[in-house]
Amino acid sequence: MQNKTMFSLDGLTALICGASQGIGKATAQAMASQGASVVLLARNSEALEKLRSQLAQPERHMCVTADLSSPAEIRTALSQIHARGYSPDILVNNAGGPSSGPLLDAQPESFEAAFRTHVLAQLQLSKELVPHMRSNGFGRIINVISTSVRIPIANLGASNTIRAAVAGFAKTLSNELAPSGITVNNVLPGFTQTERLESLIQASATRLNVTPDTVRDSWTKQVPMGRFAKAEELAATIVFLASREAGYITGTSIQVDGGRIGAI
């Protein structure tokens, strides 16, 4: 992200999940440009190291690999983070959703894996990081989920279910942590130009027996702004919610969807 916002993150450390691509990668770039030290977490160590080398002052940042569906890998990653002297003030929970498909076609195993990745991982990370946030009287937990918590998205049955669970988790946690100066908020991306969106377009094209461009054009027409979001636009919203200036915003979900959701 080239243009700085007015919201400085100097002196803060952020743990960014799913940082190797898409919204997570753009968020890491934005936060580093605003002065934060960032801990990049994902499964692809090569992609993480490449990103770290490209960030502002790369020596200030670190990479850890973990599969968010594995509590053991999360524990190992957290141990590595603390061993290097990092104590995150900001937690960005971000992970790819379950495979597309109708709700009744989903297998129980896919729900279980998604619940571990999106709910239990957040619980584990929050339990570990909140004590430091409480001791400082400052903390930010930001969940990147989906506009499906407003209106379910067709052919994303398992994802709609799990994303709604994350929203309920976040609202509950926000009420519990508010007295400690810790905010918990959700960012709801609409159609955003990421690898995840391209995979959904391909899956929809295959299911409907049409070209990917046909699906892409159809989805674009659903957006009043007439285009998909850039990952950097989501990152800017996340940076604001992570800032000191956003200290009175908690327990809310902010749509970044170009006006697609038909409710104010």
User: What do you get for the CA distance between the two ends of the chain, in Å?
Assistant: 29
- Output the pTM of the full model: 0.94
Residue 97: inside a domain, yes or no?
yes
Q: CA torsion sign, 225 to 226 to 230 to 234?
A: positive
For residues 36 and 128, state if they share a domain.
Answer: yes
Asked if residue 176 and residue 217 are part of one domain, the reply reads: no
pLDDT (tens digit, 9 = 90+) per residue, 236-259? 999 999 999 999 999 999 999 999
In this structure, the answer to whether residues 150 and 198 fall within a common structural domain is no
Tell me which H or E stretch contains 91.
Answer: strand 90-93
Segment 123-147, tens digit of pLDDT: 999 999 999 999 999 999 999 999 9
Confidence of residue 2 (pLDDT cuts 50, 70, 90): very low
Q: Is residue 1 part of a domain?
A: no
Residue-range definition of the domain harbouring residue 117 = 13-190+230-255
DSSP label at residue 244: G
Q: How many structural domains are present in the chain?
A: 2
Residues 206 and 153 in one domain: no
Band (pLDDT 50/70/90 cuts) for residue 97 is confident
Q: Are 121 and 74 in contact (CB under 8 A)?
A: yes
pLDDT band (50, 70, 90) for residue 200: confident
Co-location of 115 and 39 in the same domain: yes
Within a domain: 149: yes
Tell me the percentage of the chain whose pLDDT exceeds 70.
98
Measure the CA angle with vertex 167, ends 166 and 172; round to 5°. 95
Same domain, 154 and 164: yes
Residue 181 carries which side chain, given as an amino acid letter?
Answer: G
- 51 close to 40: Cβ distance less than 8 angstroms: yes
